[in-house]
Amino acid sequence: MTEAAAEREVASLAEAGVSLSSSHLTDEGELEGKRANGVFQAAANGDLLLGEAAASASDKSQAGEEEEEPRARLVPLLVRGGGGEALAGAQRGSGAVRTALSPRRFAVLLIFSLYSLVNAFQWIQYSIISNVFEHFYGVPLTDIDWLSMVYMLVYVPLIFPAAWLLDWGGLRRTALLGSGFNALGAWVKCGSVAPHLYWVTMLGQLLCSVAQVFILGLPSHVASVWFGPREVSTACATAVLGNQLGVAVGFLLPPVLVPNTKNDTVLMAHNIGIMFYGTASVATFLFILTIIAFKERPPYPPSESQAVLQHNPPEYSYKQSIMNLFKNTPFVLLLISYGIMTGAFYSVSTLLNQMILTYHEGEEVSAGLIGLTLVVAGMVGSIFCGLWLDYTKSYKQTTLIVYILSFIGMVVFTFTLNTGHLFIVFITGGALGFFMTGYLPLGFEFAVEITYPESEGTSSGLLNASAQLFGIFFTLAQGKLISDHGPPAGNLFLCAWIFLGIILTALIKSDLKRHSVNLGIRSVDIKAVPVNSPEE
């Protein structure tokens, strides 16, 4: 770098509010005081810079070799004011920080998605063959429904300490608890393979429901901490995808592994044991992987918004964070509308077997395949919505459109259940799942945007708590309506609530705070500085 180029670099940094004296540059354009890992710290306006500047790229050893693509850039940090608002660096002091993407992020995302899958599988594995477990344990059908509803019941009181633990103990501890309780509950259920041991299987399911508390709120947090701004929505959708895939497997495998052998209880117990022991083995393997590979955060923040939070953390108060969220009117509207949509999905998933068997007796396997179609279509919808959000950042518009299409899908599904043709139910169920299940990551990401810089774990936890409360209410009410008046009455009950959710979604003011921070920093005219150092 020539001396003139060095002067232009200093001028560029000065325009962005980063005060560097020319003494930081040698005649060769290199940074003085550069540490071995290629970063430095300097003072600006008398304050210590709140991050580390990326060093310049090393010279190529061979002539004609192309320069490597920059892996990091020099970014001015925002400084948080006394009122908790982010102020521009030029107003309260400036800094520079290196941002980089870690390749480990894919392993973290994969492991989380897989143990979330197993947890969701254990949630739905009873409901899709509820008539089989009703006969095996000799208990009323309502007791079998409670094996699924216990997930919703436990979540509500435990989400607040779980969200606090995520902010106090960190991502890794929370992930270990989720994966650990998941494996423990699976092994407890292995001891319930006898007709008189319903209480043991309920205990195992209770432990799995505790695991869920440490799982459902993590997708947006994992995505924000590990992934860059152009991939964060897709990463969140992928994390949610793991849970959806678990529901899909839960619809598919139990009817195949545990067929309805009413006249052979011994064979039924053997088949249930195979399902329980297989689940426990997989859950244990994933717990070991979590211990080995799951880290708290990458070496460098993946985005400017994370750099602000990590290098200049606010004085955190969990109570104050909760109060801030409930004072945020757009979030409160989203809280209710998300609860309605997701609670309706939980209710439909829990009662799907009963709805299908009302019109198609003996079609347990078909009921499972319809559930599989519903969830797989929803997985495609989730990924599509995540990619769309990363490309457009049109959070409210996308959320509202998906909500309206979910309502239409629910109406069509309701009036095609009794046509006598299962293939029609497959089609309408798939369409319903594409939009209803595809909505889940939209709610997470929309909440993070309108509540930034509040913790993603807290906002996601409250959304899930709302979903569990509505899920319990909808499952009990819809189940009663199905028993007394048939599936159409129960489904129309859900349609009325989903229509209310459309109205509430339309009232949400779209203030994309996180996106504004990322966009504002990237728009500052600072030249990217390549860094030759490992990502990890």
Is residue 21 very low, low, confident or very high in pLDDT (cuts 50, 70, 90)? very low
Query: Is the pTM value of this prediction over 0.85?
Result: no
Q: What is the pLDDT of residue 512?
A: 63
Q: What is the pLDDT of residue 9?
A: 47
Lowest mean pLDDT among 8-12, 335-339, 381-385: 8-12
Instruction: Tell me, letter by letter, the H, E, C secondary structure of 177-245.
Output: HHHHHHHHHHHHHHHHCCCCCHHHHHHHHHHHHHHHHCCCCCHHHHHHHHCCCCCHHHHHHHHHHHHHH
Highest mean pLDDT among 80-94, 109-123, 151-165, 305-319: 109-123
Is residue 37 very low, low, confident or very high in pLDDT (cuts 50, 70, 90)? very low
Cα 410 from chain centroid?
24
Residues in Cβ contact with 61 at an 8 Å cutoff, skipping those fewer than 6 apart = none
In this predicted model, which residue has the larger pLDDT, 391 or 20?
A: 391
Cα 497 from Cα 501, distance rounded (Å): 6
Q: What is the mean pLDDT of the chain?
A: 75
In this predicted model, which residue has the larger pLDDT, 217 or 45?
A: 217
Is residue 190 very low, low, confident or very high in pLDDT (cuts 50, 70, 90)? very high
Cα 531 from Cα 536, distance rounded (Å): 13
Cα 96 from Cα 529, distance rounded (Å): 11
Mean pLDDT to the nearest integer, 436-455: 76
Lowest mean pLDDT among 84-93, 204-213, 276-285, 437-446: 84-93
Q: What is the pLDDT of residue 382?
A: 74
3-class state of residue 289 by DSSP: helix
In this predicted model, which residue has the larger pLDDT, 25 or 500?
A: 500
Mean pLDDT to the nearest integer, 122-127: 89
C-alpha closest to that of 150 among 100, 108, 207: 207
CB-based contact 457:402 (threshold 8 Å): no
Mean pLDDT to the nearest integer, 300-311: 72
Mean pLDDT to the nearest integer, 328-357: 88
Mean pLDDT to the nearest integer, 35-43: 36
Cα 61 from Cα 454, distance rounded (Å): 46
User: What is the number of other CB atoms lying within 10 angstroms of the CB of residue 310?
Assistant: 16
Q: What is the pLDDT of residue 51?
A: 39
Residues in Cβ contact with 59 at an 8 Å cutoff, skipping those fewer than 6 apart = none
pLDDT tens digits, one per residue of 45-80 = 333 333 333 333 334 344 333 333 334 444 444 444
Q: What is the pLDDT of residue 474?
A: 92
Is pLDDT above 70 for 489? yes
3-class state of residue 343 by DSSP: helix
Q: What is the pLDDT of residue 519?
A: 57
Is residue 378 very low, low, confident or very high in pLDDT (cuts 50, 70, 90)? confident
Mean pLDDT to the nearest integer, 479-504: 91
Q: Which long-range CB contacts under 8 A does 3-11 form with residues at least 24 apart? A: 3/27, 3/29, 5/29, 9/527
In this predicted model, which residue has the larger pLDDT, 56 or 106?
A: 106
pLDDT tens digits, one per residue of 221-262 = 788 888 887 787 778 778 877 887 888 888 888 988 998 887
